[in-house]
Structure 1
Amino acid sequence: MATERSRDNATKRPSETNFEDELDVGDDYVPYVPLAKRRAEKYSKLISKKGADFGIHSSNGYGSEQDSHGASLHNSVRAGSSGANEENNEDEGTVPNVGPLAGVSLIEQSVEIRKAQVNAEEQKTDAQRAMEEEAKILAAVTERKQLASVEEISKGIVYRDPIKTTWRPPRHVREMTEEQLAAVRQKYHIDAEGEDIPPVIKAFRDMKFPKPVLDYLKNKGIKMPTPIQMQGLPVALSGRDMIGIAFTGSGKTLSFTLPLVMRALEEETKMPLAKGEGPIGMVVCPSRELARQTYEGFMALADMLHKGGYAQIKILLCMGGINMQDQASLFHGGIHVVVATPGRLQDMLAKKKFNLDLCTYMCMDEADRMLDMGFEEEVRTILSYFKHQRQTILYSATMPKKIQDFARSALVKPVVVNVGRAGAANLDVIQEVEYVKQEAKIVYLLECLQKTPPPVLIFAENKNDVDDIQEYLLLKGVEAVSIHGSKTQEEREYAINAFKSYQKDVLVATDVASKGLDFAEIHHVILFDMPKEIEDYVHRIGRTGRSGKTGIATTFINMNSSEQILLDLKHLLKEAKQRVPPVLEALEDPTEKYKDMGVAGGCGYCGGLGHRVTECPKLEQQQKSKNSGMMRPSERAGNEM
């Protein structure tokens, strides 16, 4: 029997043999259905039941039973993304997760997404597109490297609270309400931003300065604080970090020298400095002339305090072009204050002539100009010598928002004090703009000199023009001196001193004389040519009209001036309510379309009002310098070293 069954099986096909063998297992046998087919059947049932919810109808053939086998492969691919979950839930009889786009191919989905993006882009207004483009440009050029020392960055040191000082406002000032303080700020056009802003104070006596300081201010004819001093002095005396912005000639220098002198005096009174100790604080300036002027202001204050019976405050001038041996006697004792330019200060710290172990106060005068001139790395190197937290104060007449945002990385809960618009011209200066052909400018100078009595300051863009103008004026019998970066320090100091003492009638200079220098009696400034940046123009004309006095600024323009800078000048004149010459009125203003869109005017990079960041000449020039690996080395070497 067994032999016959074996013979019969041998004559059958393998599939038949396996099928009968399977039947021998028992009557409960269930035929195997492939997984893809089971998925297709479940998906067909789901489409039939939920077709209305997904927007897919049975008329397309996917939901009918007769087409289920033909569509099994198609449906199995669509359901493949949830294959693992379905396989696990299959025995439980659960319904697989199927999205509303499960019946739409990926290509069709991609097309729909692109259509939606195109529609969204088409719905944007021109103003939105312009703002998005400018935001991308500003994000691309934003400095992401923190303005802090390498040690602080590497160790993750972050200071949370400002430095504490012993100074407090008088009681009647502390008891003023926020509404009263806001009314005072509004009256003097003071804009203060930050946390826990110290109160504004309208009298030097209420700031608790000693009598010798009040006598010093009285002798200089300073009866009450200027707006920047009303808010800036309390902020600095409180130990707060600050960004101070005010027009030229508004008294910014006194706002940072007085607090530093008072802190040095307090430390010396508590415990006199020994040999090798100090400084208590320092001021960093972008040019030698500004450093020298700031040093002389500190010396005058220190001498007045010493004559009044207070301790002697020692000030060190640290800049290129001078012999440090002349100040060797200062190193025998402690140094309270250092006034320096970045390059020489870095060199002195590297040679360990002094240290910053006790230094808790750092001020950067004309901070934005210093960073623009390429001293950023020098500043970071200087910061690395600090051992503890310091109070950082930045001052300038032109402080674009880009520089403000970058500077905040080094400040702790900073207070931003702004008097007027950042980059605005001094309203005490009468601005006259005249169209003069290039070949006629040097001859026309003599006529311009007749507008006011001497002294007169003439600015030129390059050194050769400075020398040519001085030579021409000397030939015409005008007592003139000149300064620029290629002259020796002795020549530069002689020219400045002779001009300030009224021995010479005219000073011809490059921009080395435009950054912060105080010429109190100058009534007329002549710009032989229009500078390449509107910030330089603001600083140049700011050498007159100082301390509330009225001055005149005459500017020569012609076809050699770029259209962007002329448009910036046009808007600056309108802002200051000055006369706009016809040659500037005739210029087509591309920023008018932005006004029609309701977008605020001005460049977010340099602060110019006559162009947008997409046409910023300063940004273009800096990108060219960066690509060529140069950051205005001749100007840096001439101005600071």
Structure 2
Amino acid sequence: METTRRRQARSPSPVYTLDDDESYEPYIPVAQRRQQKLAKLSALGAKSDKSNAQKLQEELDAQEDAQREEELRREKARKERTLLIEAQEVHLKKAAEDSKKSEIEKAREADAEILEAIKSRRKLASGMELAKGIQYTEPITTSWRAPRYIRERPKEQDQKLREKYHIVVEGDNIPPPIEHFEDMKIPGPILDYLRSKRIMDPTPIQLQGLPVAFSGRDVIGIAFTGSGKTLTFCLPLIMMALEEEMKLPFVRGEGPVGVILCPSRELANQTYDNVVEWCSALAKEGKYPQLNTLLCMGGISMSEQSQVLNKGLHIVVATPGRLIDMLEKKRFTFNNCKYICMDEADRMIDLGFEEDVRNIMSFFKSQRQTLLFSATMPKKIQDFARESLIKPVLVNVGRAGAANLDVLQVVEYVKQEAKMVYLLECLQKTPPPVIIFSENKNEVDDIQEYLLLKGVEAVAIHGSKTQEERKYAITSFKSGAKDVMVASGVASKGLDFNDIQHVIIYSMPKEIEDYVHQIGRTGRSGKTGIATTFVNMNTPEQTLLDLKYLLMEAGQKVPPFLMTIEDPRAAQGGALTGCPVCGGLGHGISNCPKLEDAQRRQMASHRATDDGGGY
């Protein structure tokens, strides 16, 4: 009786109903089921004896115990089904799907995954803008306007002009191209200076790039080496600084109006010399004021330029490291700076300099016009730049990363032990000056020593040389005192030497864009030149494949040993596309040497950070 009372005292469990499922049978709790069975037993008890009822009760209890054990066994089995088994099943399912896909589809998917992984980079914006969520939606405004007859010219005519000069543009409300410097409203003294240097008409990158930059628009400029990019990004800054100075003359502590960033000291020095020449030409007749330019780079004493720092500062040409140092010391500020240009921009915002550039951006206090210029700007950098700029205009003359068509490219198979001797033969092809490139610093010194022993006037330049040695090498080579310069990759980025007829690439660089920059030291400003490249069994096959496609694209003669190299992607079928990271045509992103090198540098920097934690 106690058992019966206890069961009756227990509150009945709720019964749930599902209106949308007609086949649903409500769950009946165990206690309620037993009550029902006991009711049946009590009904039976009237007809049978007590022992039969007890026997039936035991049978029913045994059945319920068996059901409970079965449920416990199933629950245990569910728990024993591990994540590993589920992961294996997912993997097998994916493998079955992948087996249906072609090899080229798999490669494309893998490339897309890698590209997506390296895209996750923050915008190039100042810390204040990121912290406050400041976003600029419109480009800065300038007082410059194209002449009325050019503004009212039909858009179809503008497009025909671009097609005539093989200019590709992308963006909204693109300013029209202008064929003559006079129509760009450039001051007379600068026009006279350009004529004195036999520069009569703008090059294709200047023809479209200058009107875009004068209009205050952000620019991504891509053009062959030696095509006049420096004038395209320096002249708008000079004009902007001139306008500010004429409104109200600068005094000590004011400025700069704009900054030009360069990846190497040599390139910064060369750009600085050009800006100083153009500013001096502008002020020569006394009609326009003198603009002050500061060279800010490692290896030189800033006290030597104290006379510039003691005046109002208009333009700064700098390398990132020294510029950050000067800004942190408050030698000058970017409070009123509204123009920044990065030369060789693909190097400036790649893994080597990206954090330095972000640091520099944090010193800006207001919106600025941003210009990025390079001969080799892969799609990855272009996409990243578009996200960081404000309604940018892309001005592209030729394919990004393509070789200069004014350079005759000769590729020769030379055994490693025969290179040095054959080098002397190659020097006979053309009169000096000649540049020889090698990727190895020790090899640069060995080549210079060998040439000096053979009576050739040669100088050497590489990253381990002091600033004085590097400056002497460049000055003596430019002046004609030395006939040959042996250089590592440091001299290939943007440096402009007069009348180089011949470039010899002693050791082929792994990255094809370095090759493009190296051969670009000749064939500049519309002149022609020769580039001779030594390759052998030590040259990676992938690099040779990139070289083969580059020669084919430029319509150059491809030697038979290069023609025999087959692209493994061709066997998979489908259209072959270039690498979005380095622009090489002979490989995809999954086996890009530039990406591998960047990851190696990143790992090395992490290890250095970890190792430096102790005492």
TM class, shorter-chain normalised? Answer: 0.7 to 0.9
Query: How far has the Cα of 1:39 moved from its partner?
Result: 8.9
Given candidates 465, 469, 487, the residue that maps to 2:443 is 465
Q: Deviations over 1:333-385 (max 9, x none)?
A: 10110001111111111111111111111000001122346111111111111
* One-letter code aligned to 1:582: P
Q: Is residue 591–residue 601 contact of structure 1 (8 Å, CA) maintained in 2?
A: no
Equivalent of residue 23 in structure 2, options 24, 43, 51: 43
Aligned residue in 1 for 2:187 = 210
Query: Where do residues 235-634 of structure 1 align in structure 2 (5 Å cutoff)?
Result: 235-308=212-285, 309-372=287-350, 374-593=352-571, 596-597=573-574, 599-629=575-605
Identity %: 61
Matches within 5 A, 1:129-140: 129-140=106-117
User: Is residue 145 from structure 1 mapped to residue 122 from structure 2 by the alignment?
Assistant: yes
State the alpha-carbon separation in 2 of the partners of residues 267 and 199 from structure 1. Answer: 25
Match of 1:193 in 2: 170
Deviations 1:195-227 (A, max 9, x none): 111111111111010111111110111111111
The letter for the 1-side match of 2:604 is S
Structure 2 CA distance for partners of 1:445 and 1:114, relative to 1, 3 Å: closer
- Report if aligned partners of 2:209, 2:221 keep a CA contact under 8 Å in 1: yes
The Cα of 1:41 is off from its aligned counterpart by 10
| Change over 3 Å in CA distance of 1:271–1:612 after alignment to 2 | same
Q: Report how far residue 44 of structure 1 moved.
A: 7.1
Q: CA 1:35–1:167 in structure 2 vs 1: closer, same or farther (change >3 Å)?
A: same
Q: What SS is found at the alignment partner of 1:138? A: helix
Deviation digits for residues 136-183 of structure 1, max 9, x if unmatched? 011112242222222211111111110000000001110111111111
Q: Which amino acid aligns with 1:259?
A: P
* 1:475-504 per-position Cα deviation (integer Å, ceiling 9, x unaligned): 111111111112221221111111111111
Query: Residue deviations 1:277-327, cap 9 Å, x none?
Result: 011111010111111110110111111111132100111111111111111
RMSD between aligned residues: 3.0
Per-residue deviation, 1:260: 0.7
Instruction: Render the CA deviation track for 1:454-481: whole Å, top value 9, x for unaligned.
Output: 0001111121111111111111111111
Task: Give the 5 Å matches for 1:173-184.
Answer: 173-184=150-161
Mark the CA change 1:116 to 1:221 in structure 2 (over 3 Å): closer, same or farther: same
TM-score, normalising length: structure 2: 0.84
C-alpha distance in structure 2 between counterparts of 1:181 and 1:237, whole Å: 17
**Amino acid of the structure 2 residue aligned with 1:43:** S
Please give the per-residue CA displacement for 1:107-137, whole angstroms capped at 9, x wherever unaligned.
Answer: xxx9999999777655544433322211101
SS in 1 for 2:260: strand
Q: Give the superposition deviation at 1:574.
A: 0.6
Instruction: Assess, with a 3 A threshold, how the Cα gap between structure 1 residues 329 and 133 changes in structure 2: closer, same or farther.
Output: same
- Which moves more between the two structures, 478-487 or 167-176? 478-487
Across the two proteins, how many residue pairs are aligned to each other? Answer: 549
For residue 628 of structure 1, report the CA deviation from its aligned partner.
2.7
**Unaligned 5+ residue runs, structure 1?**
1-9, 20-31, 46-72, 78-109, 634-641
Query: Is 1:157 the counterpart of 2:152 in the alignment?
Result: no
The 1-side partners of 2:216 and 2:584 are apart by 33
Change (3 A) 1:333 1:119: same
Shift in alpha-carbon separation, 1:325–1:44, aligned structure 2, 3 A: closer
Between the aligned partners of 1:486 and 1:265, the Cα distance in structure 2 is: 39
What letter corresponds to residue 416 of structure 1 in structure 2?
Answer: L
CA shift in 2, pair 1:352/1:300, >3 Å: same
- Shift of the alpha carbon at 1:427? 0.4
Distance 1:161 1:439, change over 3 A: same
CA 1:458 to 1:194, structure 2 compared with 1: closer, same or farther past 3 Å? same
Q: Which consecutive unaligned segments of at least 5 residues does structure 2 have?
A: 26-66, 72-86, 610-615
Q: Provide TM-score, normalisation by structure 1.
A: 0.81
Name the structure 2 match of 1:89.
none
Which segment is superposed worse, 546-555 or 512-521?
512-521
